[in-house]
Amino acid sequence: MIRMENMSEFENYRPYWPETVIFWGAGTTKPLHMKTTKDLGRAFQALAEASDGEKEKKIRNAIDEVLPKANEQIRSEMCALLKLIDSDFQVQDEEAMRILEIPETRARHLKRLYDWRAVKLVIERCPRNQDHQFSLDDLYNLLDVHIQSQKGIEVEERFITLDRLISARRTLDMLTQLMHAIGYTELIHNPETLPLYQHYHQFAKLLAERMTDEGLLRATETDFDERRFYLFSYAVISMNWDPIFLWLIFNAHKELNSKKECPSIGSPPQPMKLFNDLAHFIAVRNVEGKKPFAWFPMNETAVQQLNDEEYLTGRRVRIGKFYFPHGCHGFRQCPKCGKLTFYLGNEWLIDSPSLFPPQILPSLSPRMPRSLEEKEAMDAGIYDAVQCIHCGTITETHHTAITMQTQFKAVQPSFIQEIQNDMKVALENARHIIFAGYSLPDDDFIGRIILSARRKMDSEKVKCSVIGFDRDAEDKWMYGEHLKNYFQSHENSGLTNTCRRVAGIFGEKNVRAYGAGFPNVFMKNGKADKEKVEEMMRVW
């Protein structure tokens, strides 16, 4: 037992964590025409209802409606894919195989993996709202409750077996990835959205410059191998499956790190570099290279070694936490060794055409194999092939590690669990939480994490900033009475609903809101503005 007179020898230990945590939701990329969950549900419903008709023309019309900006080849391939994996169109296999440029063996493989017909049948069972629209969450919930209970489902006297339900869920995951990959392709080739996308890159650059200035200040206050120096004051929790924001931050850091005038710190002076910690020792497929080698992003182990002032390592490093608690379209989990490979394309460009992993559709695969194994897979029509960095096994789209916001959570891969654990601690220690385009839906596990973490938080010290979009909102932050007046005059707005959900956790006086949405929250006079970024990020 420790004697009381010796207690004075001990000091409080409070490990440093970022003061600000950003929830990055679908509302942030909606201006870039990336589909939200609601948009995906509407798209799948339109395709399913069109597919119920006898004429192929109805499907093509629905695809044209759902993907109006996609090029002709992509729309033709999408139509062929849906026909191929729909048992109602078996007679059309030869034509579909010709359009998809695949042999019969690949066609049979796709039909075993995916079942569009089963998706359509389950959609029939989903409840509809007053506009006759169903919720994608309801569709996943319906699938998950039956899959986890190991039972099939009956739809209008037609029984769907368990194996078909599993294929249906796999089909939804595949189509979600496909829709977002198509959306990104439209984004970078559209003269209307590309300039807007470049503003987001400016935002990422301002965040990087902010972390550089912060590092220069903290270098005078603490040792370089201490967390208070090397951890950014902000962390990102991406609720989106797309890697867009991470990619912009990666590029912003790379640009700053490559500058000749990169600031130096310490004695003797060494350049200060910025990187990201992905909360798991993830192997990223080397962005530029001829072979599928691994590139490992920074983590705290490497940073402490590089920042040890006893050694001249050639650089001092700061890192920012970036979490994908729902996984990412770029995550491929190897079916053989179980390890994770993160795919981020083939070139360092903010508008890299290969940022998303190669897809099933040939037009959405760069077809740039980096090994004999990848070449053989692509020659066999497996255009979504990515080789596992660890053991060399070929992975495909259905090996993508993403999770859905449903009420029935399956056991997560170990790396997803590790990311969620680290993220939970970050939330418990945050002083400022930004809900950026994220509405805190009731059925999301994140909401439960925040609620449980609240007991360890002093709600007086946790400030919350809600960023949403309302056409009537002004281009400024609303606090106190101003925010209450907005609630009264906009009772049913999405921004009001989100603010009330957040206030129900952290208290109304600890919530402020910005209603002009993205990218206005960081824009002024047509460009990303340093002062507006500071106003958004500061612990108010």
Tokens of 216: 């220069």
Residue 142 has pLDDT above 60, yes or no: yes
Provide the greatest CA pair distance for the chain. 87
Q: Strand pairing of 264-265 and 527-528?
A: unpaired
Other beta carbons within 10 Å of 332: 28
Residue 5 has pLDDT above 80, yes or no: no
Residue 127: pLDDT band (50, 70, 90) is: confident
pLDDT value, residue 358? 97
Cβ atoms of 514 and 521 within 8 Å: the answer is yes
Cβ atoms of 422 and 235 within 8 Å: the answer is no
Rounded distance between C-alpha atoms, residue 229 and residue 151, angstroms: 53
Q: How confident is the model over 398-416, as a mean pLDDT?
A: 84
Residue 137: pLDDT band (50, 70, 90) is: confident
Instruction: For 435-473, write each residue's pLDDT tens digit.
Output: 999 988 866 666 666 766 665 566 567 999 999 999 888
- SS3 state of residue 528: strand
pLDDT value, residue 272? 97
pLDDT value, residue 131? 79
Q: How confident is the model over 19-42, as a mean pLDDT?
A: 95
The distance of Cα 29 from the centroid of its chain, to the nearest Å, equals 10
Output the DSSP codes for 114-133.
--HHHHHHHHHHS---TTSP
pLDDT value, residue 285? 96
Other beta carbons within 10 Å of 504: 12
The better pLDDT of the pair 461, 98 is held by 98
DSSP state of 465: E
Output the DSSP codes for 237-305.
EE-SSS-HHHHHHHHHHHHHHH-TT--EETTTTEEEEEEEE-SS--EEEPSS-SS--EEPPP-HHHHHH
Strand ranges (DSSP E) for 48-105?
none
Instruction: For 278-306, write each residue's pLDDT tens digit.
Output: 999 899 999 998 898 999 989 999 999 99
pLDDT value, residue 454? 62
pLDDT value, residue 129? 84
Residue that has been written with the tokens 């695969």 in this structure = 365
C-alpha dihedral, 400 to 404 to 407 to 410, nearest 10°: 10
Crossing angle of helices 116-125/136-148, nearest 10°?
Answer: 100
Strand ranges (DSSP E) for 98-200?
153-155, 158-160
Cβ atoms of 252 and 204 within 8 Å: the answer is yes
Residue 258 has pLDDT above 80, yes or no: yes
Cβ atoms of 141 and 122 within 8 Å: the answer is no
Tokens of 118: 């089963």
Cβ atoms of 406 and 140 within 8 Å: the answer is yes
Q: How confident is the model over 82-98, as a mean pLDDT?
A: 79
pLDDT value, residue 457? 65
Q: Which of 133-142, 228-237, 276-285, 509-518 has the lowest mean pLDDT?
A: 133-142
The better pLDDT of the pair 220, 2 is held by 220
The better pLDDT of the pair 53, 338 is held by 338
Backbone angles phi, psi at 18, to 5 degrees: -55, 140
Residue that has been written with the tokens 């379209």 in this structure = 329
Residue 8: pLDDT band (50, 70, 90) is: low
Q: How confident is the model over 54-77, as a mean pLDDT?
A: 88
- SS3 state of residue 78: helix
pLDDT value, residue 452? 62
Domain ranges of the chain: 34-189, 194-402, 413-537
Residue 59: partners with Cβ closer than 8 Å, 6 or more residues away: 47, 50, 51, 53, 79, 82, 83
Q: How confident is the model over 497-504, as a mean pLDDT?
A: 91
Q: Which of 29-43, 127-141, 184-198 has the lowest mean pLDDT?
A: 127-141
